[in-house]
Amino acid sequence: MVKIMKKNQQKTKFQYKAFIWLSPAILLLLIFSYYPPIRTLMFSFTDANGAGIGKFVFLDNFIELFSSQVFYRSLINVIIFIAVGMFVGNIATILLAELLYNLKSRFASAFYRFLFIIPVLVPAVVIILIWQYIVFAGGDSGIANRIMGFFGGDNQNWYFDPKLAPVAILLTAFPWVAGTSFLIYLAGLQNISSGVIEASKLDGANMIQRIIRIDLPLLKGQIKYFVVMGIIGGLQNINLQVLVTGSGPGTSNATNVPAFMLFEEAFTYDRYGYASAIGIVIFLMTLAFTIFNMKKLKGND
């Protein structure tokens, strides 16, 4: 009895040994995750060029950014890329999850699920290179041009045509279904209790009604997660620009996005201060969106 009471007392006490377990994380995070944002904020008010902090210029970088045509073009591009990419991507993956979920044969469902994971395992850079050199290859040897030819169209330059380049970026990795998000959506569906499904059937709901009224609301937690992660990922994913298209053909800025502007300003022109200001603006956009998303979706609960 005494022992138990002693134990209960101990439980309310702080166990400082926890900090031994936390120390590797705290040390790493302070150095590599908390110091850099503060430094970026400092940079953004200066004309730093990679060698030291530079001269304080207050809001000059931000004024330059907001009066730059290129920035607005990049902003519109990234909004289109994220909006279309996420909308189509999430719908396609949920649709695929629904298809596999509605298969009666458990074996077939598991087997297809396995097959759809394989493309995820191809390195991201390899996917880009495949699309650059095989799918959107110029001339007669590209798959896309072959399809164009089949329908009587002309060969196109895809990534290097000012009009087509943004479309080509959106089409890359079509049909966008393979991904871990698809696994998580499928698991979400499989966790819905069969009782709910049966009840909906008794009430005479068809498959479409069931998907809209039951499945989607129950997947809300997962959708929310992938929307937030899709925005954060979409704002910073510039592999295609760095590897293939750059800011777009000529001076069109057809494929430019703020993150690529940041990258170019920092590592091509050594303008750390201006690049950091772009970074701060990207961060504020993420923050605003996250808060909006949390509030809005919470309200619907």
Partner 1 sequence: MRLLKFLRKNYVEVIITTIVMVLLLLSFYPLYMLVIKSFKTISDDQSNPFGLPVVWSLENYEYAWIVIKPYLFNSLFVTTIQTLGIVTVGSFTAFAFVRFNFPYKNTIFYMIIALLMMPGIVTLTSQYELVNKLGLVNSHWGVILPAISGSIPFATFLLRTSFSGVSTELLDAATIDGATDFQVYYNVMLPISKPIIWTLVITSFIGGWNDYLWPSLVLLDEKLHTLPIALVNFTTSYYGMTGGYGAPFAAYVISSLPLLIVFLMASKQFIAGLTSGSIKM
CB atoms within 10 A of CB 190: 11
Number of residues engaging partner 1 in binding (CB under 8 A):
100
31 lies in the binding site for partner 1 (CB under 8 A): yes
Minimum CB–partner distance for residue 266 and partner 1 (Å): 5
Task: Using the minimum distance from each CB to partner 1, give the nearer residue, 140 or 154.
Answer: 140
* Of positions 149, 153, 217, 221, contacts partner 1 by CB under 8 A: 221
162 lies in the binding site for partner 1 (CB under 8 A): no
Among 12, 33, 85, smallest CA distance to 240 is for 85
Minimum CB–partner distance for residue 78 and partner 1 (Å): 11
164 lies in the binding site for partner 1 (CB under 8 A): no
* Of positions 4, 5, 8, 14, contacts partner 1 by CB under 8 A: 14
Q: What angle do CA 185, 191, 196 make, to 5 degrees?
A: 115
Residues 246-265 that bind partner 1 (CB under 8 A): 259, 262-263
* Of positions 59, 63, 115, 199, contacts partner 1 by CB under 8 A: 115
Task: Using the minimum distance from each CB to partner 1, give the nearer residue, 108 or 163.
Answer: 108
Residues 176-195 that bind partner 1 (CB under 8 A): 177-178, 180, 183-184, 186-188, 190-191
Task: Using the minimum distance from each CB to partner 1, give the nearer residue, 199 or 239.
Answer: 239
CB atoms within 10 A of CB 210: 19
Dist. CA 228–CA 294, nearest whole Å: 9
Among 59, 52, 35, 31, smallest CA distance to 277 is for 59
Task: Using the minimum distance from each CB to partner 1, give the nearer residue, 79 or 130.
Answer: 130
Helices (H), the chain: 2-12, 18-29, 35-44, 60-66, 69-102, 106-117, 124-130, 143-150, 165-171, 180-190, 194-202, 207-210, 216-218, 220-236, 239-240, 258-267, 272-299
CB 181 within 8 Å of CB 226:
yes
In the block, which residue shows the tokens 């510039």?
238
* Of positions 155, 157, 200, 286, contacts partner 1 by CB under 8 A: 286
72 lies in the binding site for partner 1 (CB under 8 A): no
